[in-house]
Structure 1
């Protein structure tokens, strides 16, 4: 859906009304930028691009602007943020909206205006008349977490935008190291594209050399080294984190979260859940579940339970000052090595 909408916009098949909703803010912002770049000339943006926050501006004010002819150029673009009247959430509204005015506009939108409703909500209230009417008339984009196949499509699209391509192994390594945050992935892809140059291929070596690891991804790699019995590499990562002034208590917390995720994935898989179901149940990205499932195969259930107990004990000792923090984690890491 996301790629089809973007293709339509790039072909300048522009709808007079859009509804962008969901909690993946990067995708919403990227769609907004694409609309602005495609629908308006640069010199027209100052006069014909408007933003309204419907949390404190009545809808009729925004629609009056939409019905006013462009000052210069052929089109106007209006972003209407926070249309809370589309949700079931109860809030203390600062303003009252004349929704009958909106219903009338939806029946006959101004031909020279593009009105974009930006609703950063996980769900809309499908029972409401105004929601039904808007969904009938608008081009709709739901900005939700990308599935693994769509995430890979998006990475290829971003690489293509920069004039480069990805080696398949390099793409997998990028996800393992940088995670699934689209803001971070964009930064890393753009950086690597600049490094290799247009027309070239980003390979695993480039990813290994250039991609910045988050603490969470460093911990994932650390745990992965442990389960593959490469303790020397695991300890090296730990010492590097200390050199980067990462707090031992924070390192311990992230290790605990990763081990807990591995246990939860293993337990749910044992109950017959598929990886998509597990991701939905735990509210984590499917790619993280896939990686954790691979690690879970290296542990027995009782080993994971024992490790979680040891981590809880280490957390207590660390917070009570019963033992040197750096040494405490080092000992824990040595104990994590599966038999």
Structure 2
């Protein structure tokens, strides 16, 4: 069997490769029958030499070649066309790979779909002689479902709110999500599904979500909720410098989203342009209804003053954060802004 594993998502590439390796059986014998080659320094002749070897005390032999096809095809402009001797030789060999050999080509980027080699591999795939894996990260909308499927693959379960919180907190770093899932599975000890509270407790990145709730409460003038959330963040170990940095980040997102909404960008393009999860954009758009750009800029000034007061020792760090929250609550004035549509926000002269 011939495999092509291609795409920029390293975690998915490694998972596909692990699945193929697992089919060789116990690791002791699998290691004896696995050869890995660096395509940047490997010739087709060398690939053939190792692929044609009979498996040792096993039914199958695995040959993994990294980056060979991209080097063979070429990079971007000046790609080698059909008729290139080495490409033609590989095309011929693909039809004669021993049945006992699994030949795997791993590429960090997608190969040109119209290149003869790729078209030939797709033809072999239809005949059941090859398999092509496209390794792309799930979209922000699909990511929570991916988290749930990954948990199921590990023999665990995670509730939809918890999966969404984990996806929102970490983004499209699938390897980091996988690590955090292992931590959460250990935490619940397999006794129950992973819940939202577990994510908020165990995943440091999930504090970003609590920061969003905090800025929600500030924007809507909910002082009691704002200080309850602030207390929760402190209990989870969030230090004043971290809190200040995250509050600044949320107001920066708020400003950027407000400007792009005013400029007429649709929701999905805002998420793509700012490289934010759609959930983050949704909440920022909702928050923007309570703020004028002049007030957001004033919030930046308050944050700067708070940072200066903490660093110079003029104020106790926790007290400084408390005063900042109070000042921001005064700025929000939700009763005067709740009815204002986002599109009426005046653009800031500052660049994104």
TM-score range, shorter chain: 0.7 to 0.9
Over 3 Å counting, the alpha-carbon distance change for 1:82 and 1:157 in structure 2 is same
Q: Map Cα deviations across residues 2-31 of structure 1 (whole Å, 9 max, x no partner).
A: xxxxxxxxxxxxxx2222222221111111
Over 3 Å counting, the alpha-carbon distance change for 1:196 and 1:320 in structure 2 is closer
| 2:207 corresponds to 1:218 | yes
**Does the Cα contact within 8 Å between 1:20 and 1:116 map onto a contact in 2?**
yes
Match of 1:7 in 2: none
**Does the Cα contact within 8 Å between 1:60 and 1:102 map onto a contact in 2?**
no
Match of 1:88 in 2: 75
Over 3 Å counting, the alpha-carbon distance change for 1:253 and 1:64 in structure 2 is farther
Moved more, 56-65 or 127-136: 127-136
Q: Pick one of 196, 201, 219 that aligns with 1:204.
A: 196
Q: CA deviation at 1:263?
A: 2.7
**Does the Cα contact within 8 Å between 1:58 and 1:98 map onto a contact in 2?**
no
Counterpart mapping for 1:156-167 below 5 A = 156-167=148-159
Q: Pick one of 50, 55, 59 that aligns with 2:35.
A: 50
Match of 2:350 in 1: none
Match of 2:227 in 1: 232
Distance in 2 of aligned mates of 1:213 and 1:295: 24
**Does the Cα contact within 8 Å between 2:144 and 2:160 map onto a contact in 1?**
no
Match of 1:8 in 2: none
Q: CA deviation at 1:318?
A: 8.7
Distance in 1 of aligned mates of 2:62 and 2:234: 52
Match of 2:80 in 1: none
**Does the Cα contact within 8 Å between 1:40 and 1:76 map onto a contact in 2?**
no
Q: CA deviation at 1:119?
A: 1.5
Match of 2:178 in 1: 186
Distance in 1 of aligned mates of 2:309 and 2:34: 54
Distance in 2 of aligned mates of 1:73 and 1:291: 56
TM-score normalised by length of structure 1:
0.73
Secondary structure at the residue paired with 1:201? coil
Q: Pick one of 88, 104, 117 that aligns with 1:100.
A: 88
Distance in 2 of aligned mates of 1:288 and 1:204: 17
Unaligned segments of structure 2, at least 5 residues: 78-84, 125-129, 334-352
Distance in 2 of aligned mates of 1:330 and 1:59: 67
**Does the Cα contact within 8 Å between 2:10 and 2:108 map onto a contact in 1?**
yes
Match of 2:161 in 1: 169
Cα RMSD of the aligned pairs, angstroms, is: 3.7
Over 3 Å counting, the alpha-carbon distance change for 1:279 and 1:223 in structure 2 is closer
Q: CA deviation at 1:225?
A: 0.8
Q: Map Cα deviations across residues 25-81 of structure 1 (whole Å, 9 max, x no partner).
A: 111111111221134443321112222221233343233212222123111222222
TM-score normalised by length of structure 2:
0.71
Which structure: larger Rg? Answer: 2
Match of 2:58 in 1: 73
Over 3 Å counting, the alpha-carbon distance change for 1:251 and 1:28 in structure 2 is farther
Q: Map Cα deviations across residues 88-133 of structure 1 (whole Å, 9 max, x no partner).
A: 358xxxxxx9433322222333322222222223x43446444444
| 2:111 corresponds to 1:124 | yes
Secondary structure at the residue paired with 1:55? helix
**Does the Cα contact within 8 Å between 1:60 and 1:98 map onto a contact in 2?**
no
Q: Map Cα deviations across residues 137-166 of structure 1 (whole Å, 9 max, x no partner).
A: 452222222124532332222222333333
Count of equivalent residues: 310
